[in-house]
Structures are given as C-alpha cells and as structure tokens.
Amino acid sequence: MQLYKIKSPWPRRLVITVLAYLSTLSLARVISLNGEGIVYFGGKYFGYNLSSILLFAITAWMLKRFFMLKDKRLRQISTIGGILLGMAIVYGGYAHYANNIFSSVSETVLQLFLIMGISACTTPACAELFQLPDRIQSWYASRQEKQPAGRFHTFMASHHYCYFLLMWGILMLSYIPVFLSQWPGNFVFDAKYQLREVCNNSYSTHHPLLHTLLMGKAYQLGLRAGNVSAGYQLYTLLQMLILTSAFAYLLLYFYKKGVPRCIRTGVLLWFALFPMHSAFAISATKDVLCAAFFLYYGIFLFRLLVDREKFAWQSCVGMILAGVLLGLLRNNAIYAIMASGIIVLLFLKPLKSKVMFLITLTAVLLLHSLCSRGLILYAHAYSPDTQREMMCVPLQCMARVASYRKAELDPALYEEICMYIQEEDIPGYNPYLADSVKNNANERLLRSNKLNFFKLWLKVGLQFPDEYLESFITNTMGYWYPLNQGVYVSADIAFYHTLIETEYEIIKRDYFPLVTDYYNYLFYHINYRNIPILGYLFRNAPYIWLLVLTLLWSILRKRYRLLLWGMLPLMYLGTCFLGPMAALRYIYCLIVCAPLLLHGLTSPCAKQR
C-alpha cells in the first residue's frame, strides 16, 4: 500500500490505527490460548496492563515508517518475513497450548485473520531489521580505516598465528573452571550408550563411530592406568581444545578481514562468558565436535563464496579435512554438505570457481566414504536398526492419528498401523518427541515391507491430512516458534551424570565448588530459562530466525553469494526437521555460526569495500 503518495495524513493515520489495534488484539488472542480463558478486553495479559499500550504504540510507529517507504523490494521482502513470523506465532501458539490447530473451518479462518493481524506488527519490524545492516555498514567501513597502529597490532598483523594462539588460550582458560567443577566432564545424553559399546567391544554405526572411538580410547587409556575417570578427562580436554580452536579461528578470520575491534571483543566475550558454550564444551555429546568442524567448514566456505578468495593449497586441504570430519562426527551432516554443495554448483559463477568447488566437494565426499568404511572395518561395527530412525516422521504422523482419532479410523487401518507401531506405545504418543513411538517400532517389517508402509502412510494421510500437518508442526516447533517454552519444545542443556553400569564407572568430582553452585543453578536446576533477555538466547528460535532473516536480506540486497553460503546451515536444518525432536544441541553447530552470519549482514560487500 503506497500511502506515502496520499497527501492528506488522515487516511494513513486511520489505517495505521486500525492495523496496530488488530495486531495487538491478535497477539492477545494467541497468548490467551494458554488455558486461562479469553476476555473481551484483549486477553488476560494485554487487557489490563501497560504491555498492550506499548505494543500498540510501537506497532503504530513502525507502520508509519513502513508506509512511508519508497523501496518496493524492501516492502515485498519484509512482507514475506512478516507473514512467516506471523504464521510461526499463530500456529506455534495453537500447537503449544491447544495441541489442536485445524479443529474446524471457522478456527482455521480465524487463524488466517490472526496471521494477518500479527503480520501488521512483524512486517514493519522486519523492514526495520533489514535496514539496520545498511546503517551499520557505513560505520563498519569507517572503523576499518581506523585500525590501531601500535606495536601490538603491528606484531599481530605480521604474526597471525600468535593472534590465533592468544585467542585460543583465552578461550581455553575461560572454560577450565567449569571443567574442574564437573570433572572429568559432563557425562550426559548418549554417552553411556556409546561407552557401553566400548566396554562390550560391540560397536554400531547408530552414533558417529569416530566420536565413540575417541571417547573409548580415552576410557581405555584410563582403564590401563587404573583410573577410568582420569582417562576420560583426556577426551573432555581434547573436545575443549578442538571447540575453542574453531572459535579462535573465527576470531582470526575476523582479524584478517579488519572487523572492528569492538565487534571482535564482543564475539570473544560471547564465546568465553556465555555459559552455553562452556557447558557444551565439557558435555559428552557428538554435537560439540560437530559444531567445531561445522564452523571450520563454514568459514572456509564463506571465504570461498562471499569473499571470493583464491585458495592456496593449504586452504583447500583445510576445507576438505573440515568437511570430512564434520561428516564423520554427525551422520546427517554429510547430507547437508552434499545438498548445499549441489545448489552451490548450480548457481556459482564463474566456471573456474565452479570447477574448484566441484573438486573440493568431490574430495570431501570420497574421503568421507573411505574413512567411514575404514572406521567400520577397524571397529568391526555393525549397522543397527536404521529404518526406525529414518521413518520417525511418518511413524509419528500415524501414531498421532491412532492416538487422537482412533474412533474415526477404519479398524483395518488401525490394525495395520499396529503392525508397525506397538499398540501399547500409541496411548503414550508425545507431540514433541518421536522416541516413544519409534524406539519399539517393527524394524524388520519396515525394512522388508517399505512400499506397503508408505502406501499405508499415504492412505491414512489422505483421510487425516490435518493431523499429519499438526504432527510435523508440533514435532519441529521447538526450532521456529518464537515464544516457545517447555522441556520438549526446546530440549534443555543438562548437567547430570549417567552410569555405564559396568565394573569401572566414571566418577564425577568437584574441584571448583565456587563455580559448581553457579552452573548447577543454571543447568542442573534448569534456571537459565528464567534469566531476563539472556534466557531467550538459550532457545533455538533466535538462531533459526537469524538464519531465515539473513537469507531474506541477502535476496533483498542481491547478495546472492551470501545466500549460497546460507544453503549449508539451511540444508542442515532441513535434516534436523526430519529428526525425532527439536533439541538445542542438534543445532549447536548453527549457534556457533551466528557471529559469521552477523558478519555477512554487516560487513560491506566487495564492491563497497
């Protein structure tokens, strides 16, 4: 709507007032879904307090600025971003609080109006966000020209490895206190299952074999020395060293690119002091090493695509090694590398760059395949039940129908569903977690009768498409719902100690009680969610929306090489959407790339430089 062409201010003011009020009312309606009831004053939270007035005023102010924009492309891209955010808030709210989105035609129509109402706020908000990088870039360019010329800067400029070692040392030292307080490491998640494979000398490829072997070698070294806990600490220290080296490499890249010192300092402090990073650094989960090599690979790819850097042989080797290790440390990462690589090859120009990237990608895929096969032969590993993992989304869809709509389901179809899913597991269907359904699914039948399984899945889906869609929404909403809450919606970072249940257990000790109280308060008692503002950074949604808005901005400003780089995290996120739940640790590799995304947004492009 080109209201800036209307000379009289009153029509514009009337439209802005109506839209701002509808936006406030729509958000109140979504918030009121928490079961407290709906009142005529706009909902429990917005009807009687200052929040509704503040939201109305801010929305009106943003709408006024939005309608005065003359940049048609900016208005269009902002509208896309605003509608996506509006859909996330509305459908996420219904899924989270009501667990019933498409209950009726009237409710579906209401949801469309709510999306439009909330988009009246989120669309101008996106426009404001999309204009921020343009304002920052001029400041960024001026700061680049004013780099300090002291002895320290002169020395570091000619000895980059010293800057890398300095950053690496600072980050490593910042994580030592939490390591001592949780010595020999935070033994959580799947670690006990992996070490059981080591103790039983029976390895599987269910978890990344390289990660299991690294943990196992440290454990076995301690076993030979008579102290498995002391041996296991070697794995934790190795993981800390690798993760902090990736952070240090990112800071070195920023230093070489002339990123202003205040930004580099902020990134250093974020990595060093934000408790999420130190908590993950000592946690026994494959996601941490995956994040380290994802960041390494992401930086190399950024240099190749966005910076258009001509790689020396060392950089090519580094990128190939990072890609291979990334694929070996997260089973789904290799699919993200492959899918994003194909997209890059389709659109990358010129031909010379395309050929170089093709060679690099081919080397990554071939070496990964060879190394993966070599590890399997070395450990005599077997392939476990994989069909259940691959089919967790279809299984979750059918379990939802069997659980919620059994009365309407054809008994023959229900019996056929129970051939694949244990009937006793159906009442325990969890909208946010597929493990309760897939863990006991019929692996043998899924493997031998896959075609009939998909026919059943399609037959049930055609009868209950709303339940299938709701199943996917509830299972993935932890990634994209901006107002998410709850354990399963965005699984927690945890501090606890699992047992291998063998003769030689890893014993946890506290060598730094001062730090232990602080970290236990945050992670053992799960209080980090209650920290104002910072608590929101422990959720998935901010980082996912940072990625989405960055991709939209790259389309807006025609920074297509940044868009191509964004295919790597986007394809990885796509593989996570096919997983059993929306855990924070699954996307930790995207979280550590947040500074690189912000750098792509705020740094001037090659022409501007």
Q: What's the pLDDT at 9?
A: 74
The DSSP code for 430 is B
Q: What's the pLDDT at 213?
A: 96
Backbone angles phi, psi at 186, to 5 degrees: -85, 95
More confident residue, 121 or 98: 121
pLDDT, average across residues 282-298: 96
CA dist 431 and 309 (Å) reads 46
- Which parts of 380-528 fold into alpha helices (H)? 387-390, 392-404, 411-420, 435-438, 443-448, 450-463, 465-480, 513-519
44 pLDDT tier (thresholds 50, 70, 90):
very low
Q: What's the pLDDT at 31?
A: 80
> What are the tens digits of pLDDT across the range 149-159?
567 677 777 77
Q: From residue 431, how far is each of 93, 397, 404, 409, 576 by CA, in Å?
A: 14, 9, 11, 19, 16
pLDDT, average across residues 576-581: 90
Q: What's the pLDDT at 36?
A: 47
CA dist 497 and 232 (Å) reads 13
- Judge whether residue 509 has pLDDT over 60: yes
More confident residue, 11 or 306: 306
Q: 416 near 426, Cβ under 8 Å? A: no
State the CB neighbour count (10 A cutoff) for residue 185: 26
45 pLDDT tier (thresholds 50, 70, 90):
very low
- Judge whether residue 341 has pLDDT over 60: yes
CA dist 186 and 164 (Å) reads 27
> What are the tens digits of pLDDT across the range 411-462?
999 999 999 999 999 998 989 888 889 888 988 899 888 899 999 999 999 9
CA dist 348 and 561 (Å) reads 8
More confident residue, 173 or 100: 173
551 pLDDT tier (thresholds 50, 70, 90):
very high
pLDDT, average across residues 113-119: 95
CA dist 235 and 219 (Å) reads 8
Q: Which helix (H) or strand (E) holds 237?
A: helix 228-256
Q: What's the pLDDT at 469?
A: 95
pLDDT, average across residues 396-406: 94
CA dist 71 and 127 (Å) reads 10
- Judge whether residue 100 has pLDDT over 70: yes
More confident residue, 4 or 467: 467
Q: What's the pLDDT at 37?
A: 42
CA dist 349 and 377 (Å) reads 40
103 pLDDT tier (thresholds 50, 70, 90):
confident
**Cα–Cα–Cα angle for 563, 568, 569, nearest 5°?**
95
Q: What's the pLDDT at 3?
A: 54
CA dist 94 and 428 (Å) reads 21
The DSSP code for 148 is -
Instruction: Look up tokens 């002895």; give the residue.
Output: 151
More confident residue, 465 or 48: 465
Q: What's the pLDDT at 608?
A: 45
Q: Six-digit token pair at 271?
A: 């990595």
> What are the tens digits of pLDDT across the range 250-288?
999 999 998 888 899 999 999 999 999 999 999 999 999
Q: What's the pLDDT at 73?
A: 94
What is the share, in percent, of the chain residues with pLDDT greater than 90? 62
Per-domain residue ranges of the chain: 3-139, 387-480
Q: Six-digit token pair at 81?
A: 């971003």
Q: What's the pLDDT at 5?
A: 57
pLDDT, average across residues 491-504: 80
What is the share, in percent, of the chain residues with pLDDT greater than 70? 91
Q: What's the pLDDT at 49?
A: 60
CA dist 348 and 340 (Å) reads 12
Classify the C-alpha dihedral 464-468-471-473 as positive or negative.
negative
Half-sphere exposure of 428 (CA within 13 A, CB side): 13
Question: If you average pLDDT over each of 81-85, 312-316, 507-511, which comes out highest?
Answer: 81-85
State the CB neighbour count (10 A cutoff) for residue 477: 25
SS (H, E, C) 292-356: HHHHHHHHHHHHHHCCCCCCCHHHHHHHHHHHHHHHHHCCCHHHHHHHHHHHHHHHCCCHHHHHH
Q: Which amino acid belongs to residue 143?
A: R
Q: What's the pLDDT at 138?
A: 76
> What are the tens digits of pLDDT across the range 161-174?
899 999 999 999 99
97 pLDDT tier (thresholds 50, 70, 90):
confident
- Judge whether residue 375 has pLDDT over 70: yes
Q: What's the pLDDT at 372?
A: 95
Q: What's the pLDDT at 136?
A: 84
> What are the tens digits of pLDDT across the range 513-536?
888 888 888 887 777 777 777 788
Q: 412 near 390, Cβ under 8 Å? A: no
pLDDT, average across residues 546-550: 96
47 pLDDT tier (thresholds 50, 70, 90):
low
**Cα–Cα–Cα angle for 93, 98, 104, nearest 5°?**
100
Strand partners, 433: 430
> What are the tens digits of pLDDT across the range 454-489?
999 999 999 999 999 999 999 999 899 988 655 555
